[in-house]
Amino acid sequence: MVVRYFSSGVSYGRGSLEENMKKLKSEIDSADALVIGAGAGMSTAAGFTYTGARFDKYFSDFSKKYGFIDMYSGGFYPYPKKEIFWAYWARYIYINRYMDTPKNTYQKLYELVKDKDYFVITTNVDHCFQKAGFDKKRLFYTQGDYGLFQSVNPDIQITFDNEEWVMNAMEAQGFVRNEVGIFEVPAEGNIKMEIPTELIPKCPVDGSPVTTNLRADDGFVEDEGWHKASAAYSDFLRRHEALHVLYLELGVGSNTPVIIKYPFWQMTSANPKAVYACLNFGESYCPKEIENQSICIDGDIDEILAGLK
């Protein structure tokens, strides 16, 4: 791909909301291929918020004791004991990886594209695409997966499923399953803020400490599955680069634009048949150079997808 630098500013799109919705639906239906890029805004639209009712329900005790008011901040708190650290992270992983989203936003997207030739690249680590029915062979989770652990030993370049550990750690804190199998705070509210020492997770290979498989530094493990997904994504782009491609960007912010946003702009610019669509709440824009090939819709992604149906 030829790298092009955009220099003439940004555009917030042309046309009315109704016109852009019709245009986007037409592009989804007529495109030879869809490249879907999703960021945190997609899961936020689906109800995976890190503050508010979800935080209060599962972390009010941590908030009261340690003073933070959102899940993200709690993930970086210097807890005095590993037993407390891992109690927090068991809850964090459980509600953001093993629980379903409050809204069916991902399912709405799947219904729109399931019969198309698509591929998904996402910086999200919550596994929502696969749970919604998307083909796992057409998914590239670039930044990791809440459902995986990795060893702190850099010589061990594999990952480990953590679902069984998470469920055991939730039970050890006193959470109980309701009638549909979801962990809830018991009526008496007797929840522990730590897990037994013997439940602190260890690497099954050498017994070393583990951490979450999330890209935070150069210690992130890109395992065999990661490399297969990366190769599949690159192959998909190569095979469709000269066709009528819709680059559909959903909830991508400015924290890591080099993964999805900038490449989507570049590939649209390089292919006159391509169309770039940006769906975002408060951050829907494109370079002026590709304005005529772009659809920018500012709004709630869940509502936009519902309207497209």
Asked if 27 and 86 sit in the same domain, the reply is: no
Q: Which pLDDT value is given to residue 269?
A: 96
96 plus 110 within the same structural domain: no
Residue 3 lies in a domain: no
Which of 243, 301, 304 minimizes the C-alpha distance to 48? 301
Task: Verify that 30 and 61 share a domain, yes or no.
Answer: no
Same domain, yes or no: 41 and 188? no
- pLDDT number for residue 6: 65
Say whether both 191 and 170 belong to one domain. Answer: yes
DSSP string across 217-231:
STT----HHHHHHHH
Tens of pLDDT, residues 183-209: 999 988 889 999 999 999 999 999 999
151 falls within a domain: no
Residues 167 and 260 placed together within one structural domain of the fold: no
- Cα separation, 6 vs 15, in Å, equals 22
**What is the Rg, in whole angstroms, of the alpha carbon atoms belonging to the chain?**
21
Residue 234 lies in a domain: yes
pLDDT in tens, 84-94: 999 999 999 99
Give dist(CA 245, CA 117) in Å, integer: 10
| Residue 4 pLDDT class (50, 70, 90 cuts) | low
In this structure, are 115 and 230 located in the same domain? yes
Q: Does 195 lie in the same domain as 227?
A: no
Q: Is the pLDDT of residue 295 over 70?
A: yes
Residue-range definition of the domain harbouring residue 172: 53-100+163-200
pLDDT at 7: 63
Q: Per-residue pLDDT tens for 225-274?
A: 999 999 999 999 999 999 999 999 999 998 889 999 999 999 999 999 99
pLDDT tier for residue 9 given thresholds of 50, 70 and 90: confident
208 lies in a domain? no
The answer to whether residue 277 is domain-embedded is yes
Structure tokens at 216: 């935070």
Q: Are residues 191 and 287 in the same domain?
A: no
Q: What are the tens digits of pLDDT across the range 68-126?
A: 999 999 999 999 999 999 999 999 999 999 999 999 999 999 999 999 999 999 999 99
Tell me, yes or no, whether 212 lies in a domain: no
**pLDDT computed for residue 1 by the predictor:** 45
Kindly tell me if the per-residue pLDDT of 34 is higher than 90: yes
Whether residue 11 has pLDDT greater than 90: no
Predicted local confidence at residue 8, as pLDDT? 65
What pLDDT, on the 0 to 100 scale, is given for residue 116?
98
- In the chain the first and final C-alpha atoms are separated, in Å, by 34
pLDDT of res. 3: 46
pLDDT (0 to 100) of residue 255: 85
Q: Is residue 304 part of a domain?
A: yes
Q: Pick from 109, 34, 132, 39: which is nearest to 302 by CA?
A: 109
Q: Is residue 214 within 8 Å of 220, Cβ to Cβ?
A: yes
Q: Mean per-residue pLDDT for 274-301?
A: 96
Domain count, the chain: 2
Dist CA 166 CA 46 (whole Å): 23
Tokens of 264: 């989507």
Instruction: Verify that 174 and 39 share a domain, yes or no.
Output: no
Whether residues 63 and 133 share a domain: the answer is no
Beta bridge partners of 249: 37, 278
Burial class (CB in 10 A: 0-12, 13-18, 19+), 308: middle
Q: What CATH number did the domain enclosing 255 receive?
A: 3.40.50.1220
178 secondary structure, DSSP code? -
Q: What is the pLDDT of residues 35-62, one digit of tens each?
A: 999 999 999 999 999 999 999 999 999 9
Residue 176 and residue 299 share a domain: no
52 token code pair: 């508010």
Please check whether residue 193 lies inside any domain of the structure.
yes
- What pLDDT was estimated at residue 278? 98
Q: How far apart are CA 266 and CA 283, in angstroms?
A: 18
Give every CB contact of residue 243 below 8 A, 6+ residues apart in sequence: 32, 33, 271, 273
pLDDT band at 153, cuts 50/70/90? very high
Instruction: Answer whether residue 166 shows pLDDT above 70.
Output: yes
